Amino acid sequence: MRKILSLLFNVSVSFIILVSLLYIMSAAQTRNNPAHIPSVLGFTPLTVVSGSMSPGIETGDMVVIKKGNKNIKPGDIVTYRLEDVLVTHRVKDIFDTNTAEVFITKGDANGIPDYKTVERSQILGKYMFKIPMGGYIKAGLRGLTGILIIVGLILIGVMIEVFNYTLVRLDKVEKIIKHQVYFNKQSL
């Protein structure tokens, strides 16, 4: 049972550290250029701020997109720039005009397609996966409080690992001592 709890704790801490590192890298990339959409290894974490993609993607979820606008087909979920806003919606249809390839998009929770079409150049990337409530976690890890939480979790994780290592070593020492006592009694 102790190993299961340790594993669950380690997975949880690792997840929070991963999200934190993504956030820190994102913050570092946008520090000098707030309009820049940060990415890590071509992946961009974004926080969902509306319910237009419910029930699959909810407000407060973190979506991770793969940067690029190639190989997009109807049914794919994409994130695109609409003026100063980022929108994550599903591609319903694609057609060519004389000047550009145009995408018709729609939020899953919306009754009708979006009123503005999207050109390929507006698309930042394709949806890969979501982290439920990851946007709330990201928001909670901002500033000094977030840094203290991360450092605290890392320290707790290290203490648990040291404690587990010590228990394993003590078990081994106890077995050796019992073994030696047994053989000492046998030799008498």
**Which strands form 77-82's sheet, in the order they lie side by side?**
43-47, 62-67, 123-131, 77-82, 85-96, 101-106, 118-119
Q: Residue 44 pLDDT more than 80?
A: yes
| 37 DSSP 8-state letter | -
163 pLDDT tier (thresholds 50, 70, 90): confident
pLDDT of residue 172: 79
The CA R_g of the chain, rounded to the nearest whole Å, is: 25
pLDDT in tens, 46-76: 889 999 999 999 999 999 999 988 899 999 9
Question: What is the average pLDDT score of the chain?
Answer: 83
- Close Cβ partners of 146 (under 8 Å, ≥ 6 residues apart): 20, 23, 140
pLDDT in tens, 112-148: 999 999 999 999 999 999 999 888 877 777 777 777 8
Are the CB atoms for 102 and 80 separated by under 8 Å?
Answer: no
Domain ranges for the chain, please list them. Answer: 41-141
Residue 55: asked if its preceding bond is cis (omega within 30°), the reply is: yes
Report how far residue 127's alpha carbon sits from residue 37's, in angstroms, rounded to the nearest whole number: 15
Q: Residue 186 pLDDT more than 60?
A: yes
Element (H, E) at 124: strand 123-131
Q: What is the CATH number of domain 41-141?
A: 2.10.109.10
pLDDT of residue 1: 66
11-25, 31-45, 111-125, range with greatest mean pLDDT: 111-125
Q: Residue 175 pLDDT more than 80?
A: no
Reference 19, options 137, 165, 108; nearest CA is 137
Burial class (CB in 10 A: 0-12, 13-18, 19+), 117: middle
Report how far residue 165's alpha carbon sits from residue 36's, in angstroms, rounded to the nearest whole number: 44
pLDDT over 70 for what percent of the chain? 83
